[in-house]
C-alpha cells in the first residue's frame, strides 16, 4: 500500500512509544536457552514475532497473558528443527545460526524479502572454524543457509567486527553453552555498533550468564553455563523508533508528549538520538515515563558519527535537509548492508526533492537549502526498508510526499501511521 503524506500545520497530543525491537528479540531468544522468563511489554513488530516463533520452535512453552506479557519456559518440548523460516529478520537469522549449530543436526534456514542477499560470510566463516559444517548461498553466504552438522567447539575464536555487531552477539548467546571456554577476539580496524554488544551482555547477565570483557576486542565466555531465565524482564521503549515522532516535533509547530519506559536501565545504541538532537539545538523535558517536546526548532548542522547507531541514518538525513548549515553523517559504511543500502538509497530518494547530498563509502554530506526550494509531492520509494519509509513520512509533513510500500514499517513499528495520525498527521492511503 502507498500513502500520501500531506504537509502538517501543527502536531499535538500524546502517544505510547513502541517497545524496543532489539531488546525483545534478545529477550525471546535468550529466554529460550533456559529457565523461566516473563517478558513484560514486548514489541509486537514482525521481527519480534519471528523471534518468539523461533523460541517456540526450539521447544519453549510460551504463554501470553491478557496484559500482553509473555511467559517462556525453556526446553519444555524437545523438537528436531530441520527447517527454520526467519522471514525478513537479519537479527534473528544471525542469532539462530550458532544456536542451531549447537544441536549438531542438519537444518536449513530460509527467509524472504530484503533478507535475500544480506551478507553472513563473516559469521559463517567463524562457525566453520569452530567445527560446524555450514554454507550459505553465493559468496556472501546469504539465505538459504544449510547446516549439515559438525560439532561446535570453543577455544580461541575470531570474528570480523567491521560489518555487523550481530555476528558478535550471536556468538555471545551460544558460546556459554559449549563444553569449552571461549575467548572471542574481534577483528577489523573500525568495530561498529559496539553498544549493541553491551546490550546483549546486559540481557545475558540477567539470565545468569557470566561474560568478561577484556577491552574492546576480547570477550571471555566460560563454558558449561546454565541459563537461569530472565525472571521478570521489562522491555524498554525503543529510542530508534522514538526518533521519528521526535523528529516530526522538531520540524513542525508542535506540542507532543511521548510516553513509555524511559528509565534507561538498559543501554540502547539509538539513545544517541537525544545527544544528536541536543547538538542540533533541540530542547525537551524527559522523565522516566515521558518525553515532552514543543517545536519547531532552528536546527544546527555539524558532524555526527553513527558508527554505533546506523539505524539513525535515514531520520538524521531528513533532519539535515532543514538545518542551518552542512551536516555530515560519518562512519556509516555498515548502513549499506541493512534492509537496503541506506546510504545510496537514501541519497537517491532525497535527490528527488532537490536535496544537495553527496555520498562516499562511509559518509553522507548534506547541504541544506531554503525549504521553499525543495520539490513538493514527489513519490519516494523506501526499497522495502522500514526506516526509510518512516523517515520519508516525516519529510512529507514538511513537503508533502507519496511514500510507497508503507506496510514495510510493520517490521519494527506496526503502529507508526496510527501514532502519527493521533498527533495530527494527515496520511492517506492511495492506490
Residue 171 CA to residue 425 CA, distance in Å, equals 42
Confidence (pLDDT) at 37: 98
Residues 99 and 214 occupy one common structural domain: yes
Confidence (pLDDT) at 317: 98
Residues 100 and 220 occupy one common structural domain: yes
Whose cell is 552477539? That residue is 169
Confidence (pLDDT) at 276: 98
Residues 161 and 279 occupy one common structural domain: no
Residue 40 CB neighbour total at 10 angstroms: 17
Which of the listed residues 181, 200, 234 is the one where a domain comes to its end? 234
Residues 228 and 360 occupy one common structural domain: no
Confidence (pLDDT) at 117: 87
Q: Which of 311, 359, 385, 419 is catalytic?
A: 311
Q: Hey, which bits of 76-154 come out as E strands?
A: 83-85, 107-110, 132-137, 142-150
Question: Which three-class secondary structure state does DSSP give residue 93?
Answer: helix
Residues 375 and 295 occupy one common structural domain: yes
Q: Would residue 311 show up in a list of annotated catalytic residues for this protein?
A: yes
Question: Which three-class secondary structure state does DSSP give residue 290?
Answer: strand
Across 43-70, b (16+ Cβ under 10 Å) vs e yields bbbbbbbbbbbbbbbbbbebeeeeeebb
| CATH value at residue 25 | 3.65.10.10
Residues 156 and 184 occupy one common structural domain: yes
Per the structure, the count of domains in the chain is 2
What are the tens digits of pLDDT across the range 57-96? 999 999 999 999 999 999 877 778 999 999 999 999 999 9
Instruction: Note every long-range contact of 118-125, with CB atoms under 8 Å and residues 24 or more positions apart, other chains counting.
Output: 118/90, 118/93, 118/142, 118/143, 118/337, 119/163, 119/337, 120/93, 120/94, 120/145, 122/159, 122/160, 122/163, 122/164, 122/167, 123/94, 123/97, 123/98, 123/159, 123/166, 123/167, 123/170, 123/171, 124/97
Which of the listed residues 192, 215, 234 is the one where a domain comes to its end? 234
**Ramachandran sector of residue 56 (left: φ over 0; alpha: ψ -120 to 50; beta: rest):** alpha
Residues 271 and 334 occupy one common structural domain: yes
Residues 159 and 243 occupy one common structural domain: no
Residue 12 CA to residue 254 CA, distance in Å, equals 6
Confidence (pLDDT) at 214: 87
Full domain range(s) for residue 257: 2-18+237-430
Residues 291 and 261 occupy one common structural domain: yes
Residues 9 and 67 occupy one common structural domain: no
Residue 267 CA to residue 199 CA, distance in Å, equals 6
Question: Which three-class secondary structure state does DSSP give residue 359?
Answer: strand
Q: What DSSP line would sit under 305-358, residue for residue?
A: E-TT-GGGHHHHHHHHTTSSS-EEEES-GGGGGSSS-TTHHHHHHHHHTT-EEE
Positions in the chain whose pLDDT score sits under 50: none
Confidence (pLDDT) at 303: 98
Residues 337 and 415 occupy one common structural domain: yes
Residues 242 and 209 occupy one common structural domain: no
Which of the listed residues 178, 209, 234 is the one where a domain comes to its end? 234
Q: What is the mean pLDDT of the chain?
A: 96
Amino acid at each position: 500500500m502507498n500513502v500520501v503524506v500531506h504537509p502538517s500545520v501543527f502536531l499535538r497530543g500524546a502517544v505510547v512509544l513502541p517497545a524496543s525491537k532489539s531488546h525483545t528479540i534478545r529477550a525471546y531468544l535468550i529466554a529460550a536457552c533456559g529457565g523461566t522468563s516473563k517478558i513484560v511489554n514486548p514489541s509486537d513488530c514482525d521481527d519480534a514475532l519471528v523471534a518468539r516463533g523461533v523460541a517456540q520452535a526450539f521447544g519453549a512453552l510460551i504463554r501470553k497473558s491478557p496484559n500482553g506479557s509473555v511467559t517462556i519456559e525453556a526446553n519444555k518440548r524437545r523438537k528436531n528443527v530441520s527447517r527454520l523460516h526467519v522471514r525478513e529478520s537479519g537479527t534473528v537469522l544471525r542469532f539462530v545460526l550458532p544456536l542451531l549449530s549447537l544441536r549438531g543436526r542438519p537444518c536449513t534456514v530460509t527467509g524472504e524479502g530484503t533478507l535475500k542477499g544480506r551478507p553472513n560470510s563473516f559469521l559463517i566463516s567463524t562457525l566453520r572454524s569452530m567445527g560446524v559444517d555450514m554454507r550459505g548461498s553465493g559468496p556472501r553466504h546469504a539465505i538459504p543457509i544449510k547446516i549439515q552438522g559438525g560439532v561446535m567447539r570453543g577455544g580461541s575464536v575470531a570474528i570480523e567486527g567491521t560489518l555487523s555487531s550481530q555476528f558478535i552477539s550471536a556468538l555471545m548467546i551460544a558460546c556459554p553453552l559449549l563444553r569449552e571456554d571461549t575467548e572471542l577476539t574481534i577483528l577489523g580496524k573500525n568495530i561498529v555498533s559496539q553498544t549493541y554488544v553491551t546490550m546483549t551482555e546486559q540481557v545475558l547477565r540477567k539470565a545468569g550468564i557470566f561474560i568478561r570483557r577484556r577491552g574492546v576486542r576480547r570477550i571471555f565466555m566460560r563454558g558449561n553455563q546454565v541459563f537461569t531465565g530472565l525472571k521478570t524482564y521489562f522491555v524498554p521503549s525503543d529510542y530508534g523508533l522514538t526518533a521519528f515522532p521526535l523528529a516530526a516535533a522538531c520540524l513542525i509547530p508542535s506540542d507532543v508528549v511521548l510516553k513509555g519506559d524511559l528509565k534507561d536501565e538498559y543501554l540502547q545504541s539509538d539513545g544517541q538520538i537525544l545527544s544528536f538532537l541536543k547538538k542540533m539545538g533541540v530542547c525537551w523535558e524527559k522523565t522516566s515515563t515521558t518525553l515532552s517536546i514543543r517545536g519547531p526548532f532552528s536546527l544546527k548542522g555539524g558532524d555526527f558519527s553513527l558508527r554505533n547507531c546506523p539505524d539513525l541514518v535515514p531520520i538524521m538525513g531528513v533532519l539535515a535537509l532543514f538545518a542551518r548549515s552542512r551536516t555530515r553523517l560519518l562512519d556509516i559504511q555498515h548502513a549499506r548492508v541493512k534492509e537496503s543500502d541506506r546510504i545510496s538509497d537514501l541519497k537517491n530518494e532525497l535527490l528527488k526533492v532537490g536535496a544537495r547530498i553527496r555520498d562516499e563509502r562511509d559518509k553522507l554530506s548534506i547541504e541544506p537549502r531554503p525549504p521553499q526550494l525543495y520539490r513538493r509531492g514527489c513519490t519516494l520509494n523506501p526499497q522495502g526498508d522500514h526506516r526509510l519509509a518512516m523517515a520519508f513520512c516525516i519529510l512529507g509533513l514538511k513537503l508533502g510526499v507519496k511514500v510507497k510500500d508503507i506496510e514495510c514499517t510493520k517490521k519494527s513499528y506496526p503502529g507508526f501511521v496510527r501514532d502519527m495520525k493521533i498527533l495530527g498527521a494527515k496520511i492517506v492511503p492511495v492506490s
